[in-house]
Amino acid sequence: MTIAEIAKLAGVSSAAVSRYLNNGYISDEKKQKIKQVIEQTGYRPSLQAQTLRTKKSKLIGIVLPKINSETISRIVAGISLILSEQGFQILLANTENSVEKELEYLSVFQNNNVEGIIFIATLLRKEHEKIIKQIGVPVVVVGQKVNYTSCIYHNDFLASKELTEIMICNGRKQIAYIGVTTKDKAAGLERKKGYLEALKSYHIAAEQDIMTESDFSMEAGYDAMKKLFESGKKIDGIFCATDFIAIGAMKYLKEKKVNIPNDIQIVGIGHTKLSSIITPTLTTAHFYYKTSGQDAAEMLLTLLKEEKKVIKEIKLGFEIIEQESTQNNK
């Protein structure tokens, strides 16, 4: 079904049908006739043809590193909620942590004439900046702070500091660190800084040899813990950059019959479902992931409406979830 066929059936020009669809001048008489024909045929205009003519695709691209991740899928749920309310469609690119694919999709999306892009990122490189700057449509980065485009991120620094301080206040002095690569500014660098700042403000010396790096998986947390443990260093607390790392570490400690929280206290970040189910439950920070997705979508839609694109930054707060893993023994 095309607009021309509808026009013929209704005995009008296709321009009239188009006006009917877009609230242009049209007499009541023809309006009725066209309405009737459209309902009968179930006609729906081709979005491609519309986009070609109007340059409004009603498409928003989302680039993300891994869809089957609890935090990321929550962000997407938030984005989707807002966009669907506003009649936008989502083009999804799952890049599987490949920088090449990220860059590739950022430009594939241009071919699709997306009106804007939401980029959920872990590592951001010079190439990202370059391509984002020249991309022609608004880009909102979620989860990382950047200065060359609008972004929305969490207060990783403060959350890490406060979590570490909980253990310090509980009398812990030998607090180890298991983090992710500092190339990841948010989950890597900022969280490490927060941890270090907490130590510093309590005049505790940071010790390089109880600070280690893993990746985002439980297995890596397990391995990192194993290495720490086998090094023989005295440890009475562990700051982990994510819940998963913490849970991996806890698994190892349980195997070694180390008591949590009596012997070692431990914290994570993310407030994943697991954190409240594992025994003992894990002290962590709740980040508003779904909200950050909603905010990102709203931010993008605002950018689309405004004529001059002002770069904006939103820093979201968090909530400390104190659970058993940092409960002081009485």
Partner DNA sequence: ACAAGATATGAAATCGATTTCATAATAAGA
Partner DNA sequence: TCTTATTATGAAATCGATTTCATATCTTGT
**In the complex with DNA, which residue's Cβ is closer, 104 or 213?**
104
**In the complex with DNA, which residue's Cβ is closer, 19 or 145?**
19
Angle at 176 between CA 172 and CA 182, to 5 degrees: 135
Least separation in angstroms between CB 119 and DNA: 24
**In the complex with its own copies, which residue's Cβ is closer, 81 or 311?**
81
Distance between CA 153 and CA 326 in Å, rounded?
Answer: 26
Residue 17 touches DNA, criterion: CB under 7 A: yes
Residues in binding contact with its own copies, number by CB under 8 A: 45
64-103 residues near its own copies, rule: CB under 8 A: 66-70, 73-74, 76-77, 80-81, 84, 89-94, 96, 101
Distance between CA 293 and CA 76 in Å, rounded?
Answer: 6
Structural tokens at position 163: 């979590």
**In the complex with DNA, which residue's Cβ is closer, 21 or 211?**
21
Structural tokens at position 90: 């989502």
Q: What share of the chain is helix, strand, coil (3-state, %, to 5)?
A: 50, 15, 35
Residue 110 touches DNA, criterion: CB under 7 A: no
For 256, phi and psi rounded to 5 degrees?
-90, 10
Least separation in angstroms between CB 129 and its own copies: 17
38 binds, among its own copies, DNA, none (CB under 5 to 8 A by kind): none
Q: Which residue of 13, 14, 18, 110 would you call a contact of its own copies, by CB under 8 A?
A: 110
277 binds, among its own copies, DNA, none (CB under 5 to 8 A by kind): its own copies
27 binds, among its own copies, DNA, none (CB under 5 to 8 A by kind): DNA
30-69 residues near DNA, rule: CB under 7 A: 30, 44-46, 49-50, 52-54
**In the complex with DNA, which residue's Cβ is closer, 88 or 229?**
88
Q: In the chain, count H helices and then E strands.
A: 12, 12
Distance between CA 142 and CA 75 in Å, rounded?
Answer: 9
Residue 49 touches its own copies, criterion: CB under 8 A: yes
For 286, phi and psi rounded to 5 degrees?
-85, 120
Under 8 Å between Cβ of 248 and 218: yes
Residue 21 touches DNA, criterion: CB under 7 A: yes
Under 8 Å between Cβ of 252 and 239: no
Q: CA distances (Å), 256 to each of 225, 235, 250, 252, 274, in order?
A: 11, 14, 10, 6, 21
**In the complex with its own copies, which residue's Cβ is closer, 72 or 198?**
72
Q: Is 171 left (phi over 0), alpha (psi -120 to 50) or beta?
A: left
Binding residues vs its own copies (CB under 8 A): 44-49, 51-52, 57, 62, 66-70, 73-74, 76-77, 80-81, 84, 89-94, 96, 101, 107-108, 110-113, 218, 247, 251, 273-274, 277-279, 290
What does the binding site for DNA look like in residue numbers (CB under 7 A)? Answer: 1-4, 11-19, 21-22, 24-30, 44-46, 49-50, 52-54
